Every structure is written in C-alpha cells, then in structure tokens.
Amino acid sequence: MFSHRLVLNCTMLLTNLVALVLLATSASAATSASADKVLSNHASILADNSASLAFSLYQNVAKDKKVENILFSPVVVASSLGLVALCGKASTASQAKTILNAVKVKDEQLHSGLAELLTEVSDPKTRNVTWKISNRLYGPSSVTFVDEFVKSSKKHYNCDYAKINFRDKKSAINSINEWATKSTDGKLPDVTKDVEKTDGAMIISAMFYKRECLCEYFCLGFMTSRSYTVSVQMMHRTGLFDFYDDKTNKLTILGMPLAHKKSTVMFIMPHHVETLERLEKMLTKKQLGTWMGKMQQTAVAVSLPKVSMEVSHNLQKHLKELGLTEAVDKSKADLSNISGKKDLYLSSVFHASAIEWDTDGNEIDTSIFGTEKLKNPKLFYADHPFIFLVKDQKTNSILFIGRMVRPKGDKMRDEL
C-alpha cells in the first residue's frame, strides 16, 4: 500500500467534465433561466424522476462484467428518452415515458419540462460552467424527415438531423466521429468503431462540461486491484468538506462543492481495495439520502487522481431491460413521427463520454488555515476504485454518475 501524502494550501479545486452521449438526446434550445427562477412543477417532477433513473440505469450497466469505468448523465439520458417519446407514437412513446415515471405528464409538459431542467443546470452564468450540448439524429439515406418533427425536436431538444449511408460503414463511422470531434473540441475523436445495423436511426448527443483553475500535482499510484497499480498524477487539498465514515459498511463518503456551490461532487469509496460490486448493491436513491443525512462538515485532507477517461456504453440492452422494448425492436417500433412511416427503429443506443477533472473551482476560504478547524483532518485518499456523482442542489437532479476503476496512467505494473 502506498504511503499517504498530504499537501496543504492547494489553490483551487475544479471538476473538468467532458461527455459525449450517443443516445437519445438532450439539450435545450430555451434561453438561460435567471438565477432566482423557480422550476415549474412538471420540470421539478422530471428532475426528481431523472435522479431515480440514475440509480436504476447505473445498476443495470454495472452488471455488465465487461464494463470497467462508467460515466453517464442522467439528465441527458432523461432528455434522450423525451426525444424517443417525441419520435414515437402509442406504446413506443409511452414506454419512454414509463421509464421516466412520467406517464401522467402531458406530452407538451414532458418536452418543455426536460428542456427547462437542462437549461437550468447548464446555465453558464449562474453555474460558472461551460456546458455545451450538441444533438444530432442520424437516419438512413432513404429516410425523409417530417418538417413538424424537425421543428419540434429543434425547439425542445436543440436537435438537428442528417442522413447517412450506414451500409458504407467506414464512411458512416468517419462522419459520426468527425461530428463528435468537432462538437467536443477534439476531446472525443474516436467515439465509435462500428455500426452494427444499417437500417435504423441513431441519436447522438455530444456534451462538453468544463471548469478550470490551477492546482498542484504529484505522481503517485492508483490501485486498480490488489495486483495492479497505475501511475497517475494526484491532486491534494485540505479543507472543510461534507464527510461521513460508514464503519458498518466499510466505506467513506466525501462531498465537495462545485459551480458556486450550486452542485456537489460526491465520492463513495470503500475503505480498502476491492471491486465495487458490494457498494453498488447498496447504491440507491434512498441510501444516498441516508448517507447525505449523516454527513457533517469536517476537516479533510483530500487526494484525488487527476483523471482523463473516455467511456463508451451501448445503452440499448440496458434501456431495453428498463422497459424500452419497442423502440429498439425493428418489428415493433413505431417512430413514425420522424418520417411519417413506421420504417425506423433505434438500431443502436450509444452513450460515449470523456471526462477530465482536476478539482473544484470555488475559491478557498483562507481564513480557516492555521485555525483549530483544520487540526487533525480526516483522510480521503482516492488511490483505489470509487463511485462518484454530481448532484445539483437547486433541482435535486443528478448531473453525472459513474465509477473510476481504471484511470489512465503512465504505466501499469504487477504488485505481486
């Protein structure tokens, strides 16, 4: 095990998140809401429902033994399901609403509410963040897009569209990757390597979330397992943070404010190196609320890896298991709002993300240094796998959720 190193007086703490989501979209064409604006009732309901979706989808993805790192944005996935509802009719549309627990929400309120929610949480002025979201629906070259759908998808989800010859796989892949690269300022140049099916529709949302500041780094180790260690840069900071040490479940939870304290990044880490399966079985919306209720402002010496990771999930099978069975089934899908014909289905549902974080960009309260408040700080040393999420304080939604199992490193070595 590596010795613990603490470095006081780190200048800033930032989270620099970039995410590309190949899936049913999200983004909002509405103008930024003011800082004091109260969410409409239906937007608040959808915010809460998207938080529930975060855990059900995470649990489903985590069951896939081939998946290591996980990252997705529940509010984006919720908006993507909203777009599926806009594309679909009858039970195809109602299934998307059911996953959002929004069957009783009128269609117009669903679409306007999701747009309102994403506008609120991505407002660069009140959040002090850059969160650029670009959306595109790809259809096969034979499709004709209905004008009303084009207008509605642009209005509610800022979604444009394009035809593509999926049968020419090399050209199709290059076209998708070039668009994604441009949309994320080069962060995701290689988001997909294959187009498995050639006769369906693909919805892509490219998302770029960023915060900046300066911090000091030291090259240390991250134990991906008891046998392997990756050499990564670690950032350090000591301060007062929300903290809870769950000795019963042998895990520690840390909360650090982001974006003018309008959102919080939370880390859930086992006491020792282990797979995250045990923690993930406990991870529910209710359990998170229980943990948060026990967190207290505590002096903590924090060490986090400087992370850069790219993650690609095909969410089709996961959303299908959550109830989206028709939209992804060629024989059952009714996405006729797109073309006026029942000739399309969601052939692939991808969610690819790139994330880079250092730490939080809030100003440090220098008045606490040298005081009793920082004596004998607790230690949060993230040198082994952990779960993380970004929770919005105003809307109660979860902006991102994921796990860090295998960060990029200069090298990997066998410890045994």
pLDDT at 32: 42
- pTM attached to this predicted model: 0.85
Pair 101, 31: CB distance under 8 Å: no
pLDDT by residue (tens digit) across 46-67? 999 999 999 999 999 999 998 9
pLDDT by residue (tens digit) across 308-349? 778 878 888 999 999 999 999 999 999 999 999 999 999 988
Q: Would you say residue 189 has pLDDT above 90? A: no
The DSSP secondary structure of 355-414, one letter per residue, reads EEE--EEEPP-GGGTTSGGGSS-EEEE--S-EEEEEEETTT--EEEEEEESS---S-EEE
Q: Count other Cβ atoms within 10 Å, centred on residue 266.
A: 20
Q: Would you say residue 187 has pLDDT above 90? A: no
pLDDT at 413: 55
Pair 205, 215: CB distance under 8 Å: no
Q: Would you say residue 366 has pLDDT above 70? A: no
pLDDT at 3: 43
SS3 77: helix
**Predicted confidence band of residue 45 (pLDDT cuts 50, 70, 90):** very high
Q: Among 199-203, 215-219, 375-379, which is the least confidently predicted range?
A: 215-219
SS3 341: coil
Q: Decide: residue 247, CB within 10 A, 0-12 exposed, 13-18 middle, 19+ buried.
A: exposed
**Nearest partner of 387 among 362, 405, 369, judged by Cα:** 405
**Predicted confidence band of residue 214 (pLDDT cuts 50, 70, 90):** very low
Task: Give exposure, 129-153, as e/b (b: 16+ Cβ within 10 Å).
Answer: bbbbbbbbbbbbeebebeeebeebb
Domains belonging to the chain, first-starting first, are 41-211+308-356 (3.30.497.10), 214-305+366-406 (2.30.39.10)
Alpha-carbon Rg for the chain, nearest whole angstrom, is: 21
**Nearest partner of 306 among 207, 204, 392, 408, judged by Cα:** 408
pLDDT by residue (tens digit) across 268-316? 999 999 999 999 999 999 999 999 999 999 999 999 887 677 887 888 8
Average model confidence (pLDDT) for the chain? 83
pLDDT by residue (tens digit) across 62-116? 999 989 999 999 999 999 999 999 999 999 999 999 999 999 999 999 999 999 9
